[in-house]
Chains A and B, each alone.
Chain A
């Protein structure tokens, strides 16, 4: 009786090991079924999802115009103080003074990509970009100015 149990345990143990080995052996000979991305090599074909949140960017059109009115809604919405907007008074052709953005400072090092600023923006001036390789050698390079030099507010955006 004891011997039967003893050999039964050995049989069950070896069977369980072989079941596992059969599966791992299958994948050993079918390496393509385990999906791994060879990341730095596939940079050319790698496409991130449209909604992927990599960094905040401000799209400019062909005339170097953006849609940011400087309302600072994103600055208020940001939980970390990532965005700082410096505004200036600009004299319009008709002589009136109007508030325009001077610099749109974005601290990438503080950003958690929570998307709250993009949701808060009333004029769709900022969107999330799909870039994700943000490593730099100096942390000062992570402080970015989003509006391009010489850019203006787009016509019809208030």
Chain B
């Protein structure tokens, strides 16, 4: 396409603006090139690569114990699930049996991470749509979860707690007590979330009917996670192909048929309640025993290909691991949920207004480092 004038007007009279890469509502270095006619969006083109750190290539020179730490930096809000996916893929090759205690600990940690991730998303959605107060309410509960992480795993965000064979350290003696306190706090406060944002008339008008994604489109764009479930696609890996201790707990897969921003919002709000219920079922039934299976000092996987899927807070993360029998992986490929979810953005934003684009991006719940890796 030939550009005229100051490179901002096309021949058809469309106005081109750039959103990002340092725009407050893109939550990171996402660059969107937007073709506008008036205030209506004609076309959106995401430009990627601003935060590419070549984690996949880097992992090829690291041992099977070492490469896991880097995945915390992909989707940093679900660091536990990323680490778990890698650990599970390596265990698949090693054919070790993970102790029951480690499985339950992994599930507990993953659900706590999902809660904290959804809470941050809830706060940021409010922030993007002009409500600053929810952010502080969300971070109040999130801070409590973060201190649990700090206490048991040693870090707040990039925990690196999952190792091949189990978890790195045993639970902190106070873990159960503190987790129960946090659960009571969250259950007390979840109704506030609905009062301050869900029922708000301005919020409803900005999200209802905005950014519609049909079931067929969600499947063809490869969307996963709450985004696809809001369009009615059943895709929860925890249900379809249970890993860790998800086969021992009862929970519902939240489905909605709305397909718009409000449906995506409601799916995540309901998922928070499901996460609380999963943690409640497990917190009193942590089996005794080892927290880590015995593995060799230098891990070598047999020749072959291993694939592991987990459900992160944003969707399905796949780890594809090729081994040539050496002490480090021959090739690693991550199928990250955010990349596929972002691919549906141009479709959803077509014909919407600029303000709607912010609402759409907020409810996709993008984490940019996961797109580029």
Residue on A nearest B133 in the bound complex, by CB = A24
**How many pairs, one residue from A and one from B, have CB atoms within 8 Å of each other in the complex?**
73
Q: Flag if B199 contacts A114 (CB, 8 Å).
A: no
Tell me which of B169, B192, B196 contacts A51 (CB under 8 A). Answer: B169
Q: Flag if B158 contacts A112 (CB, 8 Å).
A: yes
Query: Is B69's CB within 8 Å of the partner chain A?
Result: yes
Least CB distance, B40 to chain A, in whole angstroms: 26
Residue-wise interface mask of A (45-85) relative to B, using a CB-CB cutoff of 8 A (1 in contact, 0 not): 00011111100000000000000000000000111000000
A16 to B143, CA, bound (A): 28
Least CB distance, B80 to chain A, in whole angstroms: 14
Q: A53-B155, A115-B160 are in contact. Are A35 and B140 (CB under 8 A)?
A: yes
Residues of chain A within 8 A (CB-CB) of B169 are 51
Least CB distance, B197 to chain A, in whole angstroms: 8
Query: Is A42's CB within 8 Å of the partner chain B?
Result: no
Residues of chain A within 8 A (CB-CB) of B140 are 34-35
Least CB distance, B205 to chain A, in whole angstroms: 9
Which A4-29 residues have C-beta < 8 A from chain B?
12-13, 16-17, 19-20, 22-24
Tell me which of B143, B197, B201 contacts A35 (CB under 8 A). Answer: B143
Tell me which of B152, B172, B200 contacts A17 (CB under 8 A). Answer: B200
Q: A35-B143, A79-B66, A112-B69 are in contact. Are A23 and B196 (CB under 8 A)?
A: yes
Query: Is B235's CB within 8 Å of the partner chain A?
Result: no
Residues of chain A within 8 A (CB-CB) of B195 are 19-20, 22-23
A112 to B159, CA, bound (A): 10
Interface, chain A (partner B; CB < 8 A): 12-13, 16-17, 19-20, 22-24, 34-35, 48-53, 77-79, 112-116, 119, 128
- Give the top 5 A-B pairs by smallest Cβ distance, nearest first: A13-B201, A79-B66, A114-B69, A51-B154, A53-B154
